[in-house]
Structure 1
Amino acid sequence: MGNRITPLSEKQEKRSASSTIAGYLYQFERSVIELLQLDRPEDVIRVEGIEDIDIWSSTETVVQIKYYSAKKFSLPIIREAVYELLLSFADRPLRNYILYIHCGEGGEIPEKLTLDKIKECLTYQVGNNKGKRIDEDSPFDDSTLKGFAENNFRIYSGPTLDDQMNITISELAKSLECDREEAKILHHGRAVQYIHQIAVRKKDEDRIISKEDFIKHLKIREQLYNRWHKQLLGDKRFHGEIAKKLKKAKYNDKSKSRGISLEVNEDNVGSVKQLAIELAGDLDVSKARTRKAKPWTLILRGDKQLIKMVKTGLLEKKYYFNDGYESINFSHDYFDASPIVNTKRTDVVSKRSFYIRVVGEGAIKPVCSMLCKLDCLILLDSNETWYREISSSIPTEINAIKIEDLNSLLREVAL
C-alpha cells in the first residue's frame, strides 16, 4: 500500500513560493531570448548586474523584469522598479532602461510614461495626505525625470510564462539551426539551467556571457550522437571509424604539425601523462625520426598543478618539452620556435632541444591569433570555437572516448 501525502493546511498553502519561482523562471527565459537576439557573436549580457539583465551590444541597455500573474497593471506596482531604474539613469544617463513586465489580470501597459505620469508613479498616498514621493529624501529634478521619460525609458509588455517559453524554443531552433522539437527536448532546459548557474556566481565578471560562448555551450548534438553511435556499434567498430577519420586527416604524417586539446583532471592525469610521453616519442619509438618530423602540441585544460604533473612525467622519461615559459611569462615566439636538432649522416635525428610542446589552455587562448597554425588538431570532448584560430584545417572533434583509447588509436594510426 503506497504512502499517502498529507494535504497542506490553509496556513501551509500560504507559504507557497510558486509566484516567486515563476518570476525567476520568467527572468531566465527572457535572458536566453535577449542573449540569442544579440546582433553580433561577441556581444554580451550580464545577469544579475545593474538590473536583471545588462546588455552590451550596439547600445548599452539594462532590463528589469517583473512577472505578475495575478495582478492588473497600475502605476503603483511599478513604482519601486521605476525608482531603481531612475537611480541608475542618474548615475549613467546614456544607457537605455527597459521595464519588461507581464500582468496576468490585464490593464493597458503604456510603452512610455509622460513626465506627469512619472511623477504620479513615484508618489504614494500616506493616510489622508495628498501624497509622498518615494524619492523625497533625494528628489529627482524635472529635467532628470523628463530626460528619462522621453529618451531613455521604455516599458515592454511581456507574454505569459508559457508563451515566453515557446519564444525561447523558437529562438533556440533558429540559432542552433534545428527544428523546434530538438530545441525543446535537447536545448531548452540546458539553456535556462545555464543562465541559472551563471546568475548565482559571486563575481560580477563571472556573470557575463557572450552570444558566441552561449551557443557553443549548447551545441552538444555531436557529443550525444557519438555516445549513441558508440553504444550502437560497440567499442571496436566505433574506434575503427575514428582511426579512419584520423588517417584521412593526416595525423599519421610526421611532417605535419599536429595537436591535441583535452581536459586533465584528477581521474585521468595518469592517462594524460602517458599520452604525453607517447606523443613525445611520436607514438612509435622503434621508428627513427627524421629532421622533417615535427613535434606534437598538447594543449591542456585543467588545474595548473595537474598540468605540472604531466610535464614532470615527461622529464622523468628524459623528454624535454617546450611550454613557452608559461609559468613565468608565456612567450608565443619561443613556443612557436622549432626545436634545435642534431642529426646523423642519414638525416635521422639523434637529439633535439625538445620533443613535444605542452601548454595550458589559459596561456595560449589570449594570444591564439599570434601563434603559428597547426596543420591538424584533435579536440577531445570540446567544441571551443577559438581553436579554429590555431588550426589551418577544421579541428577534428572526438567525443565519448577514453584517453588511453585515444592513445591506442594514435599508435595504430602512426603505423
Structure 2
Amino acid sequence: MDGGYYAIKGFEYQIDKTLSEVLFSSNDESVIGIEQIQDVNNGDYVIQVKYKEAAKLTPSAIRKPIIQLINEFILDKSRNYILYCYFFDTNGYTENVSIDLLETILGKEKDKFDGTVKNSFLSKFNLCFSETFQNQFQSVLRKLQELNFCNSKDEAIYFYSVLVDYLRKKVVNNPPDQVSSRQVTKNELLNYLNKGRKVTFLSSYKEYRGEQEYFKFLKSRFKKPIKNQNTIIFFGDLVESDSCNLQSLVHQIVKNHYHRATHDVKPLIFIIPDEKIIEVKSYLIKENCLLNDGYETILFNQKYFESPPIINKKMSGGKLTSSLSKTSFEARIISNLTLDKITELNLNVSWIFIDSEKHKLLCDSTYQTINNLNTEQLLKLF
C-alpha cells in the first residue's frame, strides 16, 4: 500500500476519534477543538492521534508526538495530555509510562527537558493504545443507537456518515487559524441530526453496507417531489449510464410527476449543467414536453420563469373535476449559469441536490442531497 492510503485512513481514524470524544462527553456544551493545538482538544485535555496500521511500535515511532505534547504541557500545565495511537502489534490498553521509559522514547532528545518537567509531564500524561479501526467504529455506532431518534443500526450508520462528513468539512473548509470554526459540541451534533429537515446520502454508508444496501436504505428515506409543491432538482457532475442519459432521465421524471396529476400540480424546476442544457432542452422539445426557460437564451426574464402555468381541468359528466387536463408547461428548466444570476427566488421551494454543492439561494429551504448514483439508479429512485 502507498503512503496516501495510510494518510487518508489516519485522517478518517482521527475524525472517528473526534466523533467518539464528542458523543461520549458528559457535558453537552463542552467545546472540543479539531486539529488546533493538537488533533483533538478541549479545556481539560489535549489528544494526539496517530494511526500506524502497517507499523510496529518502537520508541522512535512515538517520539515526535510526545515531544509535541511536552512542549504543549510546558505552556499549559492545567490540562491532561494523551497520545492515542494504533500500531498493528500493540493495541487495546493504556501503558504506564515511567521516567525510564520516557527517556528511552525521547532518546537523544531527553536532555532538552529537565527532570522536573519530565516528572510533572508524566503526572498529566497517558499513553493509550487504541482499539482497532473497526472496534472504534462499532463503539461509535452503539453510542448513536442510544439516541432517542435512532431506530436501527442502519440509521446509526446513516447518522454516522452524516456526522463524519460534518466534522470532515470543519477541518477541510476552515484553515487552522480559524479556531472558532474548528470547534464542535455534543449539542451541536445532536441538533444537526435532530433538525429533521435535511436528508443527506453519503458514500461512507455505501462503503460500509455495500451498493445494494445503500440504494435500498436511500430509497426508504428519499422523499420524492410533492406534486403540489415547488421542487428544484439541481444536477451536478453526475454519471450517465449507457441505458439512461441525462435528457431521458429528466423527461421520465417529468412524466412520473404528471402521472395522474391533479390541477394543482406544480412544474418541477431543473437546473442543468451549462454544457448539457441544449441537449436536454432539445430532447424535451422533441418529446413534446412543454417547458419554461424564461427565455434564457435571448434575455432571461425571471418574472416569466416564475409565473404559474395556465391549466385546464378535466371534465366528467359535464362537470369540472380536480384532475389536470392541459397545462401550458410541464417543467421549468435553466442552466446553472442562469441560476447564478438570480439574486432572490420568489418561489417557495424545496431542493434536491444531485452530485452538486448546495447553492447560495438555498437559505432556509428544506433540501436533500444525493451523491454517487448514476442516471439509471436515479430513475429508479424517482
What TM-score results when the alignment is normalised by the length of structure 2? 0.52
Aligned to 2:156: 183
**Are the counterparts in 1 of residues 80 and 125 from structure 2 also a CA contact under 8 Å?**
yes
Counterpart of 1:217 in structure 2 is: 192
Q: Hey, what's the Cα distance between the residues in 2 that align with 1:16 and 1:115?
A: 33
Give the drift of 1:153: 0.2
Letter in structure 2 aligned against 1:40 = N
Name 1:50's counterpart in structure 2. 37
Contact 1:73–1:107 (CA under 8 A) maintained in structure 2: no
Residue 144 (1) aligns with residue 117 (2): yes
* Separation in structure 1 between the aligned mates of residue 343 and residue 221 of structure 2, nearest angstrom: 23
| Aligned amino acid, residue 31 of structure 1 | T
- Cα distance change on mapping 1:107 and 1:20 into 2, 3 Å: same
- In the alignment, which residue of structure 1 is the partner of 2:21? 34
Alignment map for 1:289-328 (pairs within 5 Å): none
Question: Aligned partners of 2:345, 2:105: CA distance in 1, in Å?
Answer: 65
Matched to 1:88, the amino acid is E
| Aligned-partner Cα distance in 2 for 1:73–1:26 | 18
1:86 pairs, out of 70, 92, 105, with: 70
Counterpart residue number, 1:19: 6
- Measured after TM superposition, the shift of residue 182 of structure 1 is 0.5
- RMSD of Structure 2 on Structure 1 (CA): 3.5
Are the counterparts in 1 of residues 70 and 121 from structure 2 also a CA contact under 8 Å?
A: yes
Q: In 2 relative to 1, CA 122–37 (structure 1 residues): closer, same or farther, beyond 3 Å? A: same
**How far off is 1:70 after superposition?**
2.2
For 1:15-414, list aligned pairs within 5 A.
15-56=2-43, 60-106=44-90, 110-123=94-107, 132=108, 134=109, 136=111, 139-149=112-122, 151-175=123-147, 177-178=149-150, 179-184=152-157, 186-200=158-172, 201-202=174-175, 203-219=178-194, 221=196, 223-224=198-199, 231=224, 234-235=227-228, 269-271=344-346, 381=365, 399=366
* Cα contact 1:68–1:103 (8 A) shared by 2: yes
Q: Is the 8 A contact 2:86 2:129 kept in 1?
A: yes
- Cα shift at 1:235: 2.5
AA at the equivalent of 2:182: R
Q: Deviations over 1:130-187 (max 9, x none)?
A: xx2x254xx21111111111x2100222111122111222222224641222111x21
User: CA offset at residue 230 of structure 1?
Assistant: 6.0
1:89–1:95: 8 Å Cα contact kept in structure 2? yes
Kindly provide the amino acid, as one letter, of the partner of residue 65 in structure 2: A
Q: Which secondary structure does the structure 2 equivalent of 1:235 belong to?
A: coil
Q: Which has the larger Rg?
A: 1
> Normalized against structure 1, the TM-score is what?
0.48
Structure 2: how far apart are the matches of 1:267 and 1:156? 54
Alignment partners' CA distance in 2, 1:205 and 1:211:
15
Partners in 2 of 1:94 and 1:101 — Cα distance?
A: 23
Letter in 1 for 2:13: Y
Relative to structure 1, the CA distance from residue 235 to residue 213 in structure 2 (aligned partners, 3 Å threshold; closer, same or farther) is same
Measure the CA separation in 1 of the matches of 2:141 and 2:92.
27
Q: 1:270 to 1:21 in 2, by over 3 A?
A: closer
1:16 Cα deviation after fit: 4.7
Shift of 1:121: 1.1
- CA offsets, 1:214-245, max 9 Å, x none? 222223545449x96863864379xx9xxxxx
Write the deviation string for residues 314-358 of structure 1: whole angstroms up to 9, x where unpaired.
xxxxxxxxxxxxxxxxxxxxxxxxxxxxxxxxxxxxxxxxxxxxx
The question of whether the paired residues in 1 share the 8 Å contact of 2:84 and 2:127 is answered with: yes
Specify whether residues 266 and 34 from structure 1 end up closer, same or farther in structure 2 by C-alpha distance, changes over 3 A only: farther
Q: Is the 8 A contact 2:145 2:156 kept in 1?
A: yes
Q: Measure, in 1, the Cα distance between the counterparts of 2:7 and 2:74.
A: 29
**Per the alignment, in what secondary structure is the counterpart of residue 33 of structure 2?**
strand
Q: Match for 1:214: what amino acid? A: L
Which structure 1 residue ranges, 5 or more long, are not aligned?
A: 1-12, 124-131, 241-264, 275-301, 307-378, 382-398, 402-415
Q: How many percent of aligned residue pairs carry the same amino acid? A: 22
Between the aligned partners of 1:160 and 1:28, the Cα distance in structure 2 is 14
Equivalent AA in structure 2 for residue 90 of structure 1: I
What are the Cα deviations for residues 186-211 of structure 1, in whole angstroms up to 9, with x where unaligned? Answer: 21111111111111211122101121
Counterpart Cα distance in 1 of 2:222 and 2:15: 33
Residues matched between the structures, number: 228
CA distance in 2, matches of 1:52, 1:144: 23
- The alpha-carbon deviation at position 36 of structure 1 amounts to 1.0
Contact 1:89 1:148 in 2 (8 A): yes
> What is the alpha-carbon distance in structure 2 between the residues aligned to residue 99 and residue 215 of structure 1?
27
